[in-house]
Amino acid sequence: MASVLASLPRGVRVAIIRLRSLGDCVLTTPALDILHEARPDLEVAIVVEDRFRAVFEGHPGVAAMAPPSLLALRGWRPRLVLNLHGGSRSARLAALSGARFRAGFAHFRHGCIYNVKIPRAQEVLDEERTVHTAEHLASAIFYLGAERREIPRARLFAPAPPPGHPYAVIHPMASHPDKTWPAERFLSAAEHLEEALDLEPVFIAGPEDDTVPFRRYRVVQGAHIEDLKTLLRGASLFLGNDSGPAHMAAAFGLPVAVIFGASDSAVWRPWKTDAEVLQSPQGIGYITVAQVAAALDRLRVRA
């Protein structure tokens, strides 16, 4: 029996639903590369919220981006809809898309709407272990019929910033307190970057984040993803909590030091870049400045 990808006529349209979440959007790009390599003739649209569309801009496997509205999705007239998001809103979009093939993971809610049910990544990859998010997402493309291959690094596209003094990007924020290393320790790490490694610390933060503790350094607050991409492309190193910007840094191939709290580092560690993962079974507060400084030193030596 022919696979879904083999069943698609040349040049037809496909829609991939990935509504939001910065890290998940970045880690979708390896799956896009695999799909584009398998079927470069397909016209692929990403259904994504406006604030995250910059993640996919410039990707050779993306022909268009559509807002998460039924009108826009049906207007694209996809033959295949692949839901990589899950949840009720994305399921409704997939169900009413008009697509001949509606694909989603079998464990998603509202599974009855999918006529192509994708099994667990472990079954697709034939490996009974914890899989990384990039592997989980790529497994969907393999199940649809792409030839099995090594899953590539995530990719982002941005212009290079003007040349200047080497700098390190620091992201001291996170979505939950148990994922956030203390601000004063980030400041100590910034001093180490400046004094021991001759890197200018550049802090990044969201528009609502409290950046007062970091004001002695350059702070980029509330920047658009497009601007963050350019900033990260020109950086020499990244330090931060487990969050979306860490995955952006990894996508540019930066050496990355990531401080983990409650998240599973096997699932969310930096994907395919030189990385140092710092985690303590007692919690994020038990990770010391000395441990982070040593990790930064090792990254700088290997860079």
Q: Are 288 and 187 in contact (CB under 8 A)?
A: no
Rounded distance, CA 187 to CA 166, Å?
18
pLDDT of residue 50: 97
Residue with more model confidence, 230 or 87: 230
pLDDT at 303 over 80: no
Handedness of CA 33, 19, 227, 183 (dihedral sign): negative
Residue with more model confidence, 77 or 302: 77
- 85-143, pLDDT tens digit by residue? 989 999 999 999 999 999 999 998 888 999 999 999 999 999 999 999 999 999 999 99
Rounded distance, CA 8 to CA 14, Å?
10
- 133-176, pLDDT tens digit by residue? 999 999 999 999 999 999 999 999 999 999 999 999 999 998 88
pLDDT of residue 245: 97
pLDDT at 65 over 90: yes
pLDDT at 301 over 70: yes
Write down the pTM of the prediction: 0.96
pLDDT at 302 over 80: no
- 12-21, pLDDT tens digit by residue? 999 999 999 9
22-38 and 133-144 helices cross at what angle (nearest 10)? 30
